[in-house]
């Protein structure tokens, strides 16, 4: 019998498939050219947040010949866009280089592949894994000799997210403030902060001023921990003191604290801005310094040592410590409405459509020449048959004329529309800049764009547009280059930038005076900068004051009673992670514009009639969420103003350009608190308000609000800044009728939240006007929060123009 031959190729094919699968299953390894090694660390312990820059620390060692190279990474965005970020490095033989590459995420990322390229040759590559966090998550960074005692921070989950603890080293801390955005809290304990570079220290200070929270620990390692942070600390440690216990800290929790014998606590001198929160035996244990919109907390003991290390009350302690901050203004996080930002960058005044009159005149001439004039001329020449020639010639002529006029109106120079929002915080040497640039090209071409090196730049996220966003951003300390910046004929490419500049100086002599009569904002504001602010506005809780032109050396005197509550600003730890006893709610979004901040800044609500006002509206709307209950400025005091010079420096290499500049300055004025007398009357202007998550149909607004029949509305009122008091004397509810009538507000049902029993308590119908609440201390939280629920059981809707509270306390 003839043997059957078995063909080998099917087995070879199966073997090839198995081998390829095994190769793909192997973990990704960094690949290097001999003599070059590269290690990378991305984000904060691999964590990043949506809409925040990702810092990538790259360490390169070259034991081979000298080479010029650049670190690169690319992301695949939506609509087929590929954005590359690169950083050039010179690698002499036997050298070690460390650089930070910054990437703006466009979509969901699980990893980044970083390569070291020399021309088209790949010298090394590595993969950095990433974990994406949402804007509602909390990210705690811990730089400590032992990070395990701080794992308790992961228990502080916000109501709509999760808490994550990132283990960091001093070298991981970014050297640009833009790269700190994802971090909510930073803890530094028992490490040498003296190794922080100058750029790292500046970035850290700017991050705190922009709303970050820094906790620095003392204990036996106080000297090295404070070595590089002396400019920020509220207490400058100079030695130690032994304590027999930390009983003063137990007030934050009901959990007992073990006896750990002698405890070493740092001691020293308080700075001028220091506020002692907890003291024991004359030694400050917890000291706070407010810096801009953030805070620096110094804890004299080391949480990594007993008894704090094993104390079950640390979770409550941290929660209370980090949540005692006022809310931020709605613009604190920069651009949040990217579609509006895109429209703002495209709003070039010189590219507006021709006026209707000009178009009508052109069409009128065209019709006259093509019709009557052509007819009369041919009739005069007695050559009517030439109409077969004259009409096409005239059509071609006027078409060419229209094209010529359109080409001349576009011009021959590229035009750059530079728009920026500059945030200035008290005591902060750097101001935060969020910028937009729309680069217009009258011709199709590829340019080399250049941006000043103090900024990080990227394309506007492509998830908001289907336009081309591909390109390369070559980063360095001196500048950012985009060598392949392609623009179609008559097209506009939009860029976003974030950075910092030296803060303009504004002398703030304002004070909030609180006495038995109420709260008054008084003092003088002086412009010590070289800025000529136009249409300047002073914004305060419950109102605004138009100042107008506010130039260098100008001063403005203020004397304003605060009588109206203000809508909360952007969420902070105070609202995401409520203090103990605060009723937990979910964010509430509404179509209604509860807040007039946007109109105050723009200067008018009729922005469609003025192109300049419309530009201002677009830029302001890009940093304020107009359809959210967090679109306001909160309880802060702010000065806004416009300037026609830009802090941005966007240009095109070897090409002259024409620029159009619009800059909005938002200056935070944090007045000092003057408490006078034995009774403090906290008028409604000392409170911010926000709708609670159980709000039903209606407009949950304490001012000019309404409620449909059969529905309820709940509002929380909270002190806009901490006011320490010993006792609640009285609580007054103020109810105002739209029509000015008296009596019962159409039998509405009112309830107050009782913080002692943690339940709603019926409030007898108070009627219109101001009325005292019995047992007021039950309805005021330790932090000064009040919660009100209004129900409408009637068959008709109810409305009111005032619904707020006045609180009287003893200091």
- According to the model, what pLDDT value does residue 245 have? 85
pLDDT (average), residues 306-326: 87
CATH code for the domain of 89: 2.60.40.150
CATH code for the domain of 284: 3.40.50.880
- In a shared domain, residues 178 and 303: yes
- In a shared domain, residues 534 and 623: yes
- Does residue 26 fall inside a structural domain? no
- According to the model, what pLDDT value does residue 49 have? 94
- Does residue 634 fall inside a structural domain? yes
- According to the model, what pLDDT value does residue 581 have? 36
Low-confidence winner among 9-18, 113-122, 205-214, 270-279 (lowest mean pLDDT): 9-18
- The percent of residues in the chain predicted with pLDDT above 90, rounded, is 51
Q: Which of 132, 156, 177 is the last residue of a domain?
A: 132
CATH code for the domain of 691: 2.60.120
- Asked whether residue 17 carries a pLDDT value surpassing 80, the answer given is no
- In a shared domain, residues 526 and 477: no
Q: Which of 444, 472, 502 is the last residue of a domain?
A: 502
- Does residue 18 fall inside a structural domain? no
- Does residue 100 fall inside a structural domain? yes
- In a shared domain, residues 528 and 669: yes
- Asked whether residue 589 carries a pLDDT value surpassing 60, the answer given is no
d(CA 575, CA 585): 9
- In a shared domain, residues 123 and 188: no
pLDDT (average), residues 705-720: 83
- Does residue 6 fall inside a structural domain? no
- In a shared domain, residues 438 and 549: no
- In a shared domain, residues 418 and 365: no
Structural domain of residue 490, as residue ranges?
Answer: 341-346+414-502
User: CA 576 → CA 68, 321, 375, 580, distances in Å?
Assistant: 48, 14, 77, 12
Q: Which residues of 248-287 are buried (b: 16+ CB within 10 A; e: fewer)?
A: bbeebbeeebeebeebbbbbbebbeebbebbebeebbbbb
- Does residue 647 fall inside a structural domain? no
- Residue 225, H or E segment: helix 222-226
- In a shared domain, residues 158 and 278: yes
- In a shared domain, residues 260 and 368: no
- Long-range Cβ contact pairs of 85-90 (< 8 A, separation 24 or more): 85/458, 85/472, 85/473, 85/475, 86/472, 86/473, 86/474, 86/475, 87/58, 87/474, 87/475, 87/476, 88/474, 88/476, 89/60, 89/116, 90/66
Q: Got the DSSP string for 399-449?
A: HHHHHHHHHHHH-SS-EEEEEEEEEE-TT-SEEEEEEEEEEEESS-EEEEE
- Asked whether residue 29 carries a pLDDT value surpassing 50, the answer given is no
Radius of gyration (C-alpha) of the chain in whole angstroms? 32
- Residue 397, H or E segment: helix 387-410
Looking from the CA of 7 toward its CB, the CA atoms found within 13 Å total 4
- According to the model, what pLDDT value does residue 259 have? 81
d(CA 53, CA 318): 27
More confident residue, 284 or 350: 284
Q: How many residues can be counted in the chain?
A: 811
- In a shared domain, residues 365 and 287: no
- According to the model, what pLDDT value does residue 159 have? 72
How many structural domains is the chain composed of? 6
Q: Are 103 and 112 in contact (CB under 8 A)?
A: yes
- In a shared domain, residues 476 and 578: no
| Phi, psi (degrees; rounded to nearest 5) at 232 | -105, -25
Q: Which of 502, 528, 547 is the last residue of a domain?
A: 502
The token pair that represents 104 in the structure block: 């703006």
- According to the model, what pLDDT value does residue 3 have? 41
Low-confidence winner among 162-171, 408-417, 488-497, 690-699 (lowest mean pLDDT): 690-699
d(CA 618, CA 347): 9
Nearest partner of 55 among 100, 22, 92, judged by Cα: 100
Residue 153: how many CB atoms within 10 A of its CB?
A: 25
| pLDDT 10s digits, 725-736 | 889 999 999 998
The token pair that represents 750 in the structure block: 């009112």
- Asked whether residue 476 carries a pLDDT value surpassing 60, the answer given is yes
- In a shared domain, residues 293 and 384: no
- Does residue 432 fall inside a structural domain? yes
- Does residue 654 fall inside a structural domain? no
């Amino acid at each position: 019998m003839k043997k059957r031959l078995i063909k080998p190729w099917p087995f070879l094919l199966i073997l090839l498939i198995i081998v390829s699968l095994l190769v793909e299953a192997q973990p990704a390894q960094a690949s290097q050219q001999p003599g070059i090694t590269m290690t990378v660390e991305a984000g904060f312990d691999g964590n990043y947040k949506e809409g925040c820059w990702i810092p990538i620390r790259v360490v390169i060692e070259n034991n081979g010949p000298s080479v010029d190279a650049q670190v690169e990474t690319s992301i695949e965005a939506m609509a087929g866009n590929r954005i590359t970020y690169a950083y050039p490095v010179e690698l002499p033989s036997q050298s070690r280089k460390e650089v930070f590459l910054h990437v703006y995420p466009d979509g969901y990322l699980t990893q980044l592949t970083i390569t070291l390229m020399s021309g088209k040759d790949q010298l090394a590559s590595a993969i950095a894994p990433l974990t994406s966090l949402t804007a509602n998550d909390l990210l705690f960074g811990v730089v400590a000799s032992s990070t395990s005692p701080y794992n308790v921070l992961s228990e502080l989950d916000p109501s709509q997210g999760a808490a994550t603890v990132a283990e960091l080293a001093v070298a991981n801390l970014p050297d640009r403030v833009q790269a700190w955005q994802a971090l909510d809290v930073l803890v530094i304990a028992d490490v040498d902060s003296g190794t922080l570079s100058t750029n790292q220290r500046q970035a850290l200070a700017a991050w705190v001023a922009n709303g970050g929270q820094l906790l620095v620990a003392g204990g036996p390692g106080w000297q090295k921990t404070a070595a590089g942070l002396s400019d920020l600390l509220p207490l400058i440690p100079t030695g130690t003191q032994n304590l027999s216990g930390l009983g003063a800290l137990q007030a934050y929790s009901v959990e007992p604290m073990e006896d750990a014998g002698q405890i070493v606590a740092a001691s020293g001198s308080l700075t001028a801005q220091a506020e002692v929160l907890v003291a024991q035996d004359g030694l400050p244990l917890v000291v706070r310094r407010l810096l801009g919109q953030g805070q620096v907390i110094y804890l004299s003991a080391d949480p990594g040592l007993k008894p704090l290390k094993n104390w079950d009350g640390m979770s409550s302690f941290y929660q209370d410590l980090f949540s005692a901050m006022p809310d931020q203004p709605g613009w604190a996080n920069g651009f949040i409405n990217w579609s509006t930002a895109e429209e703002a960058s495209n709003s070039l005044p010189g590219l507006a459509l021709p006026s209707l009159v000009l178009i009508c005149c052109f069409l009128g001439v065209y019709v006259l020449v093509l019709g009557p004039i052509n007819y009369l001329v041919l009739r005069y020449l007695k050559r009517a048959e030439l109409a077969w020639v004259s009409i096409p010639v005239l059509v071609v002529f006027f078409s060419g004329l229209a094209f010529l006029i359109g080409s001349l109106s576009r011009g021959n120079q590229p035009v750059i529309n530079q728009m920026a929002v500059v945030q200035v915080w008290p005591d902060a040497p750097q101001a935060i800049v969020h910028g937009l640039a729309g680069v217009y090209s009258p011709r199709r071409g590829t340019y080399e764009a250049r941006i000043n090196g103090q900024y990080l730049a990227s394309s506007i996220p492509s998830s908001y547009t289907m336009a081309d966003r591909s390109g390369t951003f070559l980063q360095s300390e001196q500048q950012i280059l985009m060598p392949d910046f392609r623009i179609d004929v008559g097209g506009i490419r939009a860029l976003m930038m974030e950075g910092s500049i030296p803060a303009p100086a504004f002398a703030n002599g304002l004070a909030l005076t609180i006495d038995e009569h109420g709260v008054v904002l008084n003092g003088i504001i002086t412009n010590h900068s070289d800025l000529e602010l136009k249409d300047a506005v002073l914004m305060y809780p419950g109102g605004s004051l138009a100042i107008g032109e506010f130039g260098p050396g100008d001063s403005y005197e203020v004397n304003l009673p605060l009588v109206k509550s203000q809508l909360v600003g952007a969420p902070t730890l105070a609202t995401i992670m409520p203090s103990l006893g605060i009723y937990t709610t979910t964010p509430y979004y509404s179509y209604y514009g509860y807040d007039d901040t946007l109109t105050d800044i723009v200067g008018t609500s009729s922005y469609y009639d003025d192109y300049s006002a419309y530009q201002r509206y677009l830029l302001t709307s890009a940093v304020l969420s107009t359809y959210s209950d967090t679109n306001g400025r909160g309880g802060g005091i702010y000065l806004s103003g416009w300037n026609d010079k830009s802090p941005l420096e966007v240009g095109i290499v070897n090409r002259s350009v024409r620029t159009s500049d619009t800059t909005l300055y938002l200056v935070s004025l944090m007045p000092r608190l003057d408490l006078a007398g034995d009774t403090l009357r906290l008028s409604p202007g000392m409170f911010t308000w926000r709708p609670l998550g159980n709000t039903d149909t209606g407009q949950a607004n304490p001012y000019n609000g309404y409620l449909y029949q059969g529905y309820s509305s709940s509002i929380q009122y909270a002190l806009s800044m901490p006011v320490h008091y010993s006792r609640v004397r009285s609580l007054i509810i103020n109810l105002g009728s739209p029509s000015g009538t008296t009596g019962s507000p159409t039998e509405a049902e009112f309830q107050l939240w009782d913080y002692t029993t943690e339940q709603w308590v019926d409030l007898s119908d108070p009627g219109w006007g101001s009325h005292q609440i019995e047992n007021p201390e039950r309805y005021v939280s330790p932090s000064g929060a009040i919660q009100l629920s209004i129900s409408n059981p009637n068959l008709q809707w109810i409305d009111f123009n005032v619904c707020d509270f006045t609180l009287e306390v003893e200091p």
